[in-house]
Structure 1
Amino acid sequence: MRPDRTAGLTTAAQHAHSFLESLDERPVTARVDASAVRAALGGPVPVRGEDPGAVIDALAAGAEPGLVASAGPRHFGFVIGGALPAALAADWLVSAWDQCAAFHSLAPAAAAIEEITSAWTLDLLGLPADASVGFVTGGQGANTTCLAAARHAVLARAGWDVGKYGLNGAPPVRILCGEHAHATIYTALRLLGLGAETAIRIPADDQGRMNPEALRDALADADADADGPTIVCAQAGNVATGSFDAFDPIAEACAQHNAWLHIDGAFGLWAAAAPATRHLTHGVERADSWAIDAHKWLNVPYDGAMAIVADPDAHVAAMSLAGPYLVVDPGQRDNTNYVPESSRRARAVPVYAAIRSLGRAGIAELIERNCAQARRIAERLATIRDADIINDVVLNQVLLRLPGGDDANRAAVAAIQQDATCWLGGTTWNGEYVLRVSISNWATTDDDIDRSAAAIERAIRQ
């Protein structure tokens, strides 16, 4: 007797519907911590199997109190979007289809959808149409993949094949980053054997923008091999302030010294897709590689980001996979050649669905609406007595500093999270602990902004 392949799906759909219908009004903070979930779901390995529907019922009941409404309209911590209906539905299809998206021979549909979605993404962002795109897990995967391609290319220019010989004996690679580069850049450098602490930190202004003159001076440093293998990491959308580096002068300095320019644009690069914010990304197309998350501002479920490289040969050289048992279809895309993994899900499918469901106009509207909402909540929070908005609200990020020093600001974050009307986090900026608001959810309304501002002010007063 064949097994019932659909067992549990109806139960899972019912629980999913119930959760999604609660998102707009449920408390944003989880009601319990991990220990309560462990107590509900843990214990010894079951001796006998259970009915799939019963497993799903138990899983939903045990996990639900520990869920954060991060997909909801008033979660403003980190830079977390929700899941567009079409993207979520497409993600369910990805699991049901259960395709290994590594090779064309295993999943022609996955190969085709990655090609289509790659072209759409490059068009939306104004990047070179012949760039290569790999669909990775998130910003960490995107930065690591791009910097692997950069490492390969700059060492090849110096006559060294890092793919064959590794880094032992290789010419040293200089890394230059703005002093506010995201943590994933340094993790990528560590993973790639370049060293997390080797990067030259280029001074930035009070908004986190790299100083192009300081970069130019560092690239021309007489004490270094100014024309040796060099990688520069710039930023489109500072994770605290939302600011953008000046890409034209940075790209010009990189070109003068044959340096690879990588841009970490995890959420900020989406600004290129909206007329009102496109000016912030001027010159971004001059870079050699770009990292971008789709599960941030495009609002697809997790496990969806893109590593984009202007030189496909460098990209494939850094990532390609070969083996005597692997079937290669000549002239077809093998997705594994653009990412670190082989066995992987068809990540491009939800991205395809999100872009198709919104269209160019809908993506622009989403970005511009969230940016307007960031300005709206900044205006409301600025009326709190002795509070300061300490960043230029150029995108979707707001930094709020309250009087009383770090302890008072930490206490305010805790009180806001405990209130659970909305959720925001804190960060350290220029040596001070401050409150950070990030707005990137498709479902956030102006009413959500006003309710959240009132709750923040109330929690601070109390």
Structure 2
Amino acid sequence: MENSALDRAHAHALTWLASLDERRVPPTATVAEVAASLGTDLPDGPTDPAEVIDHLAAACELGLTATPSGRFFGFVIGGTHPAALAADWLVSAWDQNSGLRTLTPAHSAVEEIAEAWLLDLLGLPEESAVGFVTGGTMANFTCLAAGRDEMLRRAGWDVKVEGLVGSPGLRVLVGAERHDTVDLALRYLGLGAPEVVAADDQGRLIPDALREALERGDDRPVMVVLQAGNVHSGAFDPFTEAIELARAYGAWVHVDGAFGLFAAAAPAHRHLMAGAEAADSWSTDAHKTLNVPYDCGIAIVRDRAALRASMGMHGDYLIHDAAGEPFDKVPEISRRGRAFTVWAVLRSLGRDGVADLVERFCSHAQAFATGIDAIEGAEVLNDVVFTQVCASFGSDDATRAVVQGMLTDGTAWTTGSRWHDRAVLRVSVSNWSTSEADVTRTLTALRVVAAGLGR
């Protein structure tokens, strides 16, 4: 195979990575400008692959956001750990379709080891099944699909055969501040809008409100969705009490832990996940706290049979293994070898390294909270218990001006949002490469931008 294109891609990748420490975090080119640089007409003839890579890199350079930078604090995106990045290059080169155990024994072996390591690190039942999906949304979808089908099966209805029309239906109870992807997954599953349970001032579901909602129930089976890590406050639902209540009504309990599930891997923050191991399913997004490349969500279901019953398929043309197939745990048949990158970062960090990774995120978040509180007119609005910080700079207009000012400055990316009917600047710490110097640089820029408001 001609390797010149790979050589050029390698060179461009190293140049990009070397630029992250000093480059602006926001992009400097618009979509239209990048499209113009790329050229919108499809050529009639072929182009040398190496030339294509050079052209792609040059045209996209100014339109890239430095999301792998240690100064990107938006959207809980995370970075890419070096071991995971290198493994991901191998994933593309090896080009394994990881759906069948017999077809790709290398990935199946890695997936089984990564599965056991994850369950151990997260303190979850060792009998659970782990599926590697595209992201947090599909992880929620996969877990809730297993719950939907199992709860209806217990009610005497086979979704696989009869579909949803005419079924007893389900009640799905969620906290008022659950992530929107929970609602999206429920919509995909044909379950409609959930019933909302009140949350406290940090976004934690209130157990008494859950009890009242359960008591108002009818004969339909129930699912309860809890949250590990509120996207604004970082708060965790009271798992022990909420799950005990749900169990009294025979409910399936799912924990959406897109970034917070890994609190269980860090001794100093493990208490936040206390009781969550008693749930039926859990979801997380490995590109967030674990820092593997896109796309890699993780769906975990205690009852392997329930997950396989919901996700599995059988075709005569497939080579079936008596041990079961990887695609029996996920919505996809064809998929890239996502477990390779998860295994690589876990093997590289080890148990202590994962704990240290999470603790550093939390330490940086505390430093941000302290630094923001010291800025005149600024106020941290949440109890900083994990990796999220939400701040106001006075009026909504002033806060929005700071958010825009930070993007214009370019030192770091901090996201604007709205929480408790107030405009906020949100800092999400989730990148392995974020250093104390990155935090200091970002706070310095934030002080300058806030001072520029002229208050």
Task: Give the TM interval when normalised to the shorter protein.
Answer: over 0.9
Where does residue 393 of structure 1 map in the other structure? 384
Q: Does 1:91 align with 2:91?
A: no
Where does residue 303 of structure 1 map in the other structure? 295
* Cα deviation digits, residues 66-90 of structure 1 (max 9, x gap): 0000111000011011111110000
Q: Which of 151, 154, 165 is 1:154 aligned to?
A: 151
Where does residue 352 of structure 2 map in the other structure? 361
Where does residue 186 of structure 2 map in the other structure? 189
Q: Does 1:202 align with 2:193?
A: no
Where does residue 48 of structure 1 map in the other structure? 45
Where does residue 448 of structure 2 map in the other structure? 458
Amino acid at match of 2:352: A
* Cα deviation digits, residues 78-122 of structure 1 (max 9, x gap): 101111111000000000000000101221111111111000000
**Alignment of structure 1 residues 342-381 onto 2, 5 Å:** 342-381=333-372
- Shift of residue 6 of structure 1? 2.7
* Cα deviation digits, residues 102-152 of structure 1 (max 9, x gap): 101221111111111000000000000000000001100100000000101
**Alignment of structure 1 residues 76-87 onto 2, 5 Å:** 76-87=73-84
Asked whether the equivalents of residues 416 and 460 of structure 1 are also in contact (C-alpha less than 8 Å), the reply is no
Amino acid at match of 1:423: W
**Alignment of structure 1 residues 33-432 onto 2, 5 Å:** 33-195=30-192, 197=193, 199-221=194-216, 224-225=217-218, 228-331=220-323, 333-404=324-395, 406-432=396-422
* Cα deviation digits, residues 352-377 of structure 1 (max 9, x gap): 00000000000101110110110011
- Shift of residue 5 of structure 1? 4.6
Distance 2:2 2:96 in 1: 16
Q: How many residues align?
A: 452
SS across alignment from 1:291: strand
SS across alignment from 2:229: coil
Q: Give the gaps of 5 or more residues in structure 2.
A: none
Where does residue 29 of structure 1 map in the other structure? 26
**Alignment of structure 1 residues 9-24 onto 2, 5 Å:** 9-24=6-21
Distance 1:321 1:424 in 2: 43
Amino acid at match of 2:361: N
Q: Output the TM-score relative to the length of structure 2.
A: 0.98
- Shift of residue 228 of structure 1? 2.8
Amino acid at match of 2:370: E
Distance 1:418 1:322 in 2: 53
* Cα deviation digits, residues 314-360 of structure 1 (max 9, x gap): 101110021121110222x4111111111110011000000000000
Q: 1:209 to 1:15 in 2, by over 3 A?
A: same
- Shift of residue 383 of structure 1? 1.1
SS across alignment from 1:425: strand
- Is the deviation greater in 345-354 or in 322-331? 322-331
Two-structure CA RMSD over aligned residues (Å)? 0.9
Distance 2:94 2:313 in 1: 24
Distance 2:377 2:423 in 1: 16
* Cα deviation digits, residues 203-262 of structure 1 (max 9, x gap): 0000000001110111111xx31x531110000000110000000001101110000000
Amino acid at match of 2:438: D
Distance 2:227 2:393 in 1: 27
SS across alignment from 2:237: coil
- Shift of residue 42 of structure 1? 2.9
Distance 2:101 2:290 in 1: 26
- Shift of residue 385 of structure 1? 1.2
Amino acid at match of 1:80: I
- Shift of residue 428 of structure 1? 1.0
Q: Give the gaps of 5 or more residues in structure 1.
A: none
- Shift of residue 272 of structure 1? 0.3
Distance 1:42 1:237 in 2: 43
Distance 1:26 1:362 in 2: 28
Distance 1:345 1:314 in 2: 24
Distance 2:366 2:310 in 1: 42
SS across alignment from 1:39: helix
Q: Output the TM-score relative to the length of structure 1.
A: 0.97
Distance 1:418 1:339 in 2: 41
- Shift of residue 407 of structure 1? 2.0
Distance 1:77 1:212 in 2: 31
Distance 2:277 2:332 in 1: 27
Asked whether the equivalents of residues 273 and 363 of structure 1 are also in contact (C-alpha less than 8 Å), the reply is yes
Amino acid at match of 1:453: L
Where does residue 444 of structure 1 map in the other structure? 434
Asked whether the equivalents of residues 28 and 423 of structure 1 are also in contact (C-alpha less than 8 Å), the reply is yes
SS across alignment from 1:276: helix
